Amino acid sequence: MCGRFTITHPNEALASMFDAVMGNDLPPSPRFNICPTTPVAVVTSDSGSRRLRAMRWGFLPAWYKTPTDGPLIINARSDTVAQKPAFREAVRSRRCIVPASGFYEWQTAEDGTKLPWYFTRTDGQPMALAGLWQRWGDIDTVAIVSTDAGPNMRGLHHREALMLEAADWPLWLGEAGHGAALLMKPSAEGLTQCHRVDRKVNSNRAEGPDLIEPLAA
């Protein structure tokens, strides 16, 4: 799953990486503790023209009367998106990419304590997380797609965010025909690395570069 992530790369660098036109409503960078319901940068494509623009993290199905009319939907399971009423149309026609410099996952200790780990790509590049988006009123909202845990995540959690490689972006964004379902698979061995971080990130009010520093032994 993905419940918190970071953006430490500048918006300009993300726009260049994805060959996207940068919107003027993007949230500032860096951000070290991005939480649900806040704005995030999202890559969309319309007839092959990509945009990097802001969306609310927290997918609002069309039938919600208010943003709190139902459960907060921040993730969409890859194995059920084609069947779930909330996502059926979005997975066909409103796929997007959520850039992330890294994300947090929590391990439950024997005493029930939640121990945070921070994951990044081993090559230092931003992650391209698969997303689905929905317009609700005048708000564009997004959920991050999750899949079975890859080898680097197993032992901490049974799910992880679906990470896309650059060669897969055109297919996921709908620029290269059909077959996006084939991309919904766990990450490869060695794609990510992780380290323990301080439990202060457990608070959604915490912020700052010290949140991603390795925990001292």
The answer for residues whose C-beta is within 8 angstroms of residue 12's C-beta and 6 or more apart is 22
Whether 100 maps to a domain, the answer reads yes
pLDDT in the model for residue 217? 63
> Token digits for 119?
């994951």
What is the tally of helices (H) and strands (E) in the chain?
3, 13
pTM of the model: 0.95
| Residue 217 within a domain | no
The whole-chain average pLDDT of the chain stands at 93
What is the total count of domains within the chain? 1
pLDDT at res. 51: 97
In a domain, 197, yes or no: yes
Q: 106 or 2: which carries more pLDDT confidence? A: 106
Does some domain include residue 23?
A: yes
What are the angstrom distances between the C-alpha of 114 and each of 88, 141, 169? 34, 28, 34
Domain of 59, CATH number, reads: 3.90.1680.10
* CA–CA distance, 119 with 104 (Å, rounded to integer): 6
In a domain, residue 174? The reply is yes
| 49-83 per-position pLDDT tens digit | 999 999 999 999 999 999 999 999 999 999 999 99
Dist. CA 205–CA 104, nearest whole Å: 15
- Residue 186 domain-assigned? no
- Say if 64 falls within a structural domain: yes
Q: Read off the pLDDT of residues 145-188 as tens digits, 9 standing for 90 and up.
A: 999 888 888 777 788 999 999 999 999 999 988 888 888 888 88
Q: What is the pLDDT of residue 115?
A: 92
Residue 21 lies in a domain: yes
Which residue segment(s) compose the domain that 202 sits in?
5-179+191-212
Asked whether the predicted pLDDT for residue 101 surpasses 90, the reply is yes
CB-based contacts of 102: which residues, under 8 Å, 6+ apart?
Answer: 5, 6, 8, 118, 119, 120, 121, 127, 212
